Homo-oligomer: A and B are copies of this chain.
Amino acid sequence: MKLYDTARAPNPRRVRIFLAEKGIAIPMEEIDFGKAEQKGEAFSAINPLQQTPVLVLDDGTVLSESVAICRYVEELHPEPPLFGVDRLGRALVEMWQRRIEFHLFQPVMLTFRHSHPAAAKMGQVQIPELAESSKARTLDFLTHLDSELRKQPFIAGEHFSIADITALVAVDFMRPARITMPPLDNIKRWRGEVAARPSIVP
Contact = CB atoms under 8 A, between A and B. Distances in A.
16 contacts: A57-B88, A63-B95, A64-B95, A65-B94, A65-B98, A65-B99, A67-B94, A68-B92, A69-B91, A71-B90, A71-B94, A72-B87, A72-B88, A127-B127, A127-B129, A127-B133
B68 A91 contact: yes
Q: Quick one: copies of this chain in the complex?
A: 2
Interface of A: 48-49, 57, 61, 63-65, 67-69, 71-72, 75-76, 87-88, 90-92, 94-95, 98-99, 103, 125, 127, 129-130, 133, 144
A35 B98 CA distance: 26
A101 B49 CA distance: 14
Contacts of A72: 87-88, 90-91
| Dominant secondary structure at the A interface | helix
A10 to B, nearest CB: 14
A90 B65 CA distance: 13
A10 B133 CA distance: 23
- Which are the 7 A-B pairs with shortest beta-carbon distances? A68-B95, A72-B91, A68-B94, A75-B87, A65-B98, A65-B95, A71-B94
A63 B92 contact: yes
A98 B130 contact: no
A162 to B, nearest CB: 12
A75 B91 contact: yes
Contacts of A90: 71-72, 75
Contact of A76 (B69, B87, B103): B87
B63 A91 contact: yes
Contacts of A48: 144
Contacts of A71: 90-91, 94
A189 B20 CA distance: 43
A117 to B, nearest CB: 19
Chain B CB within 10 Å — which of A65, A72, A144 has the most?
Answer: A65
